[in-house]
Each structure stands twice: as structure tokens, then as C-alpha cells.
Amino acid sequence: MASCRNIITVALAITCAAIARAQTPAWPVVSSAGADLWFHGVATVALGGPGRLPLSDSADVSRVRSAKATLGVRTALDSAAPSLGAALRADPAFEVLHFVPPYFSRSNPAAMLAAVRRVADGGAGPSGFGVDERFGATVLSAALPTAGQRRVLRDLVVALQDEWTRFYRGYRMNAIRPEALAEALNTWGPLVGALRPYLVWAGLDGGQLMVSPALGPDGRFFEGAPDLRDDNVVAVWLPPDHPADAAYFAVRELCYPAVRRALPEGAMPADRADAENLSGRAAVWCGEMLLRRFASDRVAAYREAWMRAVGERGTFEDAFAVPAEVTRALERTLHF
């Protein structure tokens, strides 16, 4: 999914510097309890987006639902999901919620939920939040300013707090396999090294690769302040059967700066859904082009990962077709 700059640009300068100072100039793979909880909640209420690539993994929703049925558990999130989902989908402003985990990438679940609830309750300004929560709280306050939006946000937070306490905290302890994280890391490490020329060119020297089983093929890319090169966060799907694919999904997310240069706003379709679909397919192609140049031995695996992700049986070219002029624009942009 396109970076947070396409969702909201308000208040980036307020706390990006603080976030960047707390991170290392590398790309570690991280698994976050808060991120998993939030992405799971967004998936449960079926909050979608304008693009065709799924933002959440429906199979993960089914696995969680089955686990709850086995335990005889029904949480506030389960009860509120139909009405919450309808309210969230009715207002495009709520698409900002897809980026909450990257905004709160260093927060634990309790601190993240407490900060979001304070926003929903009309709480303190930026200075009233901790350094790890200040940026996310500022963005959400600006993106969801109305009383009606805040009520829906509060309902979501209350449901997630109950979900965490009564079920998800215990469930997650067994749902994230250490060997899956290791497989993702073992694939990601060499790719980061091979793509170093591109990362330097794009100003993506470091950040976090956040992996979560609740996400879908369309990930999240949070690019921080323009003058800071190591405060980036990429969040991608960790598929249980092919966890190494997370690394290839991340390559696509890291392509969004190049896609924006190749396809500036004036060159995009006027329809928002068409624009999102075009940029999403272009990002997949950009990743293929980068690997062809810097890690040609990974191209086949990259293509296979993306074909698995979208469940296609045809060709990669058909699944991610883009106009010839888009391919040419990408090739010109990546000629550095």
C-alpha cells in the first residue's frame, strides 16, 4: 500500500526525529505484539482500501475465529465487528488506521491502545504523549478530527482492548513461530545487502521490517521525515506456509519512492482506485527490475512469491500487467 504520505502529511516534523534517533541504521526484522493485534483487529472488521490487493489475510481471520470457537470465546471485537466495519468503511478517512502499527512501531500494545484512546477521547496535545506515541497520536488527531470519527475510533479501541485481554495476548504466543521469523530474516538479510545501492539512492538507509500474519499481500510503507534516512518502517505479510515470501513483499514496498518518481501525481489516473491499482502493480514490477539488476538469482523466487500471494495460475506478466509507458518510466527512473 502506498506510503503514509499519500494518507496524511500533517505533523510529520513533530516527532519523526525522535523516532529516528531510537532506531538503528539497518533493516532488522521485527515481530510486534501491538502491530499483530491492530492488524488482526482491522482484518476482523474488514476495513479495506481502494486497491485490489488484499490488505489483510482472510485465512488468518478464519484461523483466529476457529481458535476462539474451540475455546468458546466471544470478545467485544467479535460482537462489534459488523457495525464497526460498516462505520469504518463508510468514511475513507479511516484508511489511516491501516498505518497505526508503523506510526507506533516502538510502542507495546497497552501504550499504543492507551494513546489511541486518548485521541478518541479528545485528550492532550502532542506534548502530552510519550515519545514513542507522540507521532501516531498527532497524525490520528489530524486525520480524524470530528466527534463522530472519534466515537467510532473509541469503539474500535475498546473492542481491541477486550480482544487483547481475553484472547489475543495468549493466542499470539503460539501463533508466531520463531522458525518462521528466522526464515524471513534469512531471506531478507542477503536481499538488503544486494539492494544497498538502491536503498542509498532512495534515501532508505535503514528502518524496520515489521512482519505480521494478519496482513495481506498489500503491505504498509511508512517513510518518515524527508531529511532522515533511517526512520522508515515497512510492514508486510508473514504467510505461515511460506514465511520467506515476506522478504519479497518488502522489496515491493521499498519500491514506492521509485514509483512516485516514475509516476508523479499528474501522470496517475484521476480515479483513486485506478491510481492505487496502477501504482501497486508498478511497485511489483519495480521490485522485479531491482532484483534483476542486483540479485538476479532471486527473480524467480520473487515472481513465485507474488503469484502465490494473489493466487494466480497464469503468468506474472498477466497478473501484474502495466502499460508499456509505465515500464519505460520505471526503467528510466531506476537508471542510477
Count CB-CB contacts under 10 A for residue 225.
Answer: 16
pLDDT band at 8 (very low <50, low <70, confident <90, very high): very low
Domain boundaries, the chain: 32-175, 179-333
Residues paired with 209 in a beta bridge: 29, 234
Task: Give the pLDDT mean for 14-19.
Answer: 39
Q: For the segment 240-252, what is each residue's pLDDT rounded down to a tens digit?
A: 999 999 999 999 9
SS3 content of the chain, % helix, strand, coil (to 5): 65, 5, 30
* Residue-level pLDDT at 279: 96
Residue 149, pLDDT above cutoff 60 = yes
Q: How far apart are the first and last CA of the chain?
A: 25
How far apart (Å, rounded) are the C-alpha atoms in residues 152 and 250? 31
Residue 16, pLDDT above cutoff 60 = no
